[in-house]
């Protein structure tokens, strides 16, 4: 017997009940981004592999072991399914000279791909919402992006997401720190795992980002980058914190917070919850003033963050339950030769007025069609037989609250008005989040 084909491990279908919820979520995201003047940008899912190697850095989890890379079988070009969005976004800004006239605020959403071990909150195809700015130097934009996070949690009805911030200073300051850190870890080599030992001389900062619980202690006693930062770097960091304090956003400075990607400098931040088990970071970002230059563009300061949509969705469902599906307004039932001609026109006429219609496809008796109407969850059945059709009338039958709105025969032209009138009484019309 043939085996059925299944989806790739770690790459999941989002079925209609949940996909409807994603739609609502994406609407919330669009108006939230607009409220801060961030404009959408849509980027390719496949990019040249060197883009990620240059942007993210060779000695990183992503580039070392998580990328889906392949050669184009037609021309041998090395390509990669994007593991994150910042590199592609920066590439597009450079390629189209987007920030040459004025700074840019951009956002995007879509799937990212990383070859990780699938588990709750960690998938091989997952979705991110990314927010990026290009051309702003000051701490005000860093703080703006942190405030954006805080507002979004409110818009989604989420609480208990905690903010951690740190400053990575500038690359020159990290050179000195790196020596100090290597020295420390060499003295404690016994406490390092294999990966950390391997990174000790290539990318020691990354050791601080280790998820290995056995290394927690050696990491928490390591020297702190923040203790050796320049006056300028500290002033920038203080500038961010002042805006957060004024806005009443609580935060913790975590001196060992580093980001997994090489291109960050100055401010880094993460929003973390303890309600999602091990995969608790829902949003992470920071400043990456070096990236555009590193990709060959004219140096341009930049700042951004990315959110894991699946993790956020899990949190919303855990906090607020699964919202109800948006309702269908009308199920259209019809039978007979005259009715058959009229029915599609009635359906389109209702849709012209913004009413959603499930059209009975596949025929059937009135009784079997009414069964489907009941099962559809529609608010009304519009029923057209030949008798009604000849008079340009239809039966309007409420499928819920029948006591309140009794079934009645009315002119086809007034069905939409009648339905709209009943909606005015209901405040839950298509309400979701």
State the residues that interact with ligand ATP by CB under 6 A: 84, 114, 116, 121-123, 126, 128, 260, 279, 281-284, 306, 308, 310-311
As measured in angstroms, the least distance from the Cβ of 83 to ligand ATP is 8
CB of 52 or CB of 126, closer to ligand ATP: 126
CB of 207 or CB of 373, closer to ligand ATP: 207
As measured in angstroms, the least distance from the Cβ of 122 to ligand ATP is 4
CB of 259 or CB of 397, closer to ligand ATP: 259
Is residue 94 within 8 Å of 109, Cβ to Cβ? no
CB of 310 or CB of 393, closer to ligand ATP: 310
In angstroms, the CA 396 to CA 311 distance is 43
As measured in angstroms, the least distance from the Cβ of 234 to ligand ATP is 24
As measured in angstroms, the least distance from the Cβ of 269 to ligand ATP is 11
As measured in angstroms, the least distance from the Cβ of 125 to ligand ATP is 8
As measured in angstroms, the least distance from the Cβ of 258 to ligand ATP is 10
CB of 244 or CB of 283, closer to ligand ATP: 283
As measured in angstroms, the least distance from the Cβ of 188 to ligand ATP is 23
CB of 195 or CB of 418, closer to ligand ATP: 195
As measured in angstroms, the least distance from the Cβ of 322 to ligand ATP is 19
What HEC string does the chain produce? CCCCCCCCCCCCCCCHHHHHHHHHHHHHHHHHHHHCCCEECCCCCEEEHHHHHHHHCCCCHHHHHHCEEEECCCCCCEEEECCCCHHHHHHHHHHCCCCCCCCEEEEEEEEEECCCCCECCECCEEEEEEEEEECCCCHHHHHHHHHHHHHHHHHCCCCCCEEEEEECCCHHHHHHHHHHHHHHHHHCHHHCCHHHHHHCCCCHHHHHHCCCHHHHHHHHCCCCHHHHCCHHHHHHHHHHHHHHHHCCCCCEECCCCCCCCCCCEEEEEEEECCCCCCCCEEEEEEECCCHHHHCCCCCCCEEEEEEEHHHHHHHHHHHHCCCCCCCCCEEEEECCHHHHHHHHHHHHHHHHCCCCEEECCCCCCHHHHHHHHHHHCCCEEEEECHHHHHCCEEEEEECCCCCCCCCEEEEHHHHHHHHHHHHHHCCCCCCCC
CB of 192 or CB of 314, closer to ligand ATP: 314
CB of 258 or CB of 378, closer to ligand ATP: 258
As measured in angstroms, the least distance from the Cβ of 43 to ligand ATP is 16
CB of 287 or CB of 397, closer to ligand ATP: 287
Closest residue to bound ligand ATP by CB: 308
């Amino acid at each position: 017997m043939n085996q059925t084909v299944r989806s790739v491990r770690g790459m999941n279908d989002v079925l209609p009940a949940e996909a409807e919820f994603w739609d609502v979520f994406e609407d919330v995201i669009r108006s939230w981004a607009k409220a801060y003047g961030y404009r959408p940008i849509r980027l390719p899912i496949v990019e040249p592999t060197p883009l990620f190697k240059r942007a993210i850095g060779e000695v990183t989890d992503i580039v070392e072991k998580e990328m889906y890379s392949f050669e184009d079988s037609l021309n041998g070009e090395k390509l990669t399914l994007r593991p994150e969005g910042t590199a592609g976004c920066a590439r597009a800004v450079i390629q189209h000279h987007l920030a040459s006239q004025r700074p840019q605020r951009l956002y995007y959403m879509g799937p990212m791909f990383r070859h990780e071990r699938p588990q709750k909150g960690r998938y091989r195809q997952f979705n991110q919402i990314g927010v990026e700015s290009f051309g702003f130097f000051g701490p005000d934009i860093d703080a703006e992006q942190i405030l954006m996070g805080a507002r979004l949690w409110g818009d989604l009805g989420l609480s208990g997401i905690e903010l951690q911030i740190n400053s990575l200073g500038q690359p020159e300051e990290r050179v000195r720190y790196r020596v100090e850190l290597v020295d420390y870890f060499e003295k404690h080599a016994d406490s390092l795992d294999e990966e950390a030992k391997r990174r000790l001389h290539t990318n020691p900062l990354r050791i601080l980002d280790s998820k290995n619980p056995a290394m927690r202690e050696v990491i928490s006693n390591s020297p702190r980058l923040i203790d050796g930062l320049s006056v300028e770097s500290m002033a920038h960091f203080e500038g961010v914190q002042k805006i957060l304090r004024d806005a009443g956003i609580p935060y913790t400075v975590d001196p060992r917070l580093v980001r997994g990607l090489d291109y960050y400098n100055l401010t880094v931040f993460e929003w973390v919850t303890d309600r999602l088990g091990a995969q608790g970071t829902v949003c992470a970002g920071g400043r990456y003033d070096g990236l555009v230059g590193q990709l060959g563009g004219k140096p341009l300061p930049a700042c951004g963050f990315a959110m894991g949509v699946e993790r956020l969705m899990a949190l919303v469902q855990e906090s607020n339950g699964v919202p109800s599906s948006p309702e269908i307004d009308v199920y259209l039932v019809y039978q007979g030769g005259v009715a058959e001609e009229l029915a599609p026109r009635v359906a389109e006429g209702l849709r012209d007025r913004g009413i959603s219609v499930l059209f009975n496809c596949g025929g059937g008796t009135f009784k079997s069609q009414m069964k489907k109407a009941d099962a559809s969850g529609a608010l009304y059945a519009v029923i057209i037989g030949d008798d009604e059709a000849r008079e340009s009338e239809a039966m309007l039958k409420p499928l819920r609250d029948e006591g309140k709105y009794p079934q009645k025969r009315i002119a086809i032209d007034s069905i939409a008005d009648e339905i709209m009138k009943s909606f005015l009484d209901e405040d839950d019309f298509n309400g979701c989040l």
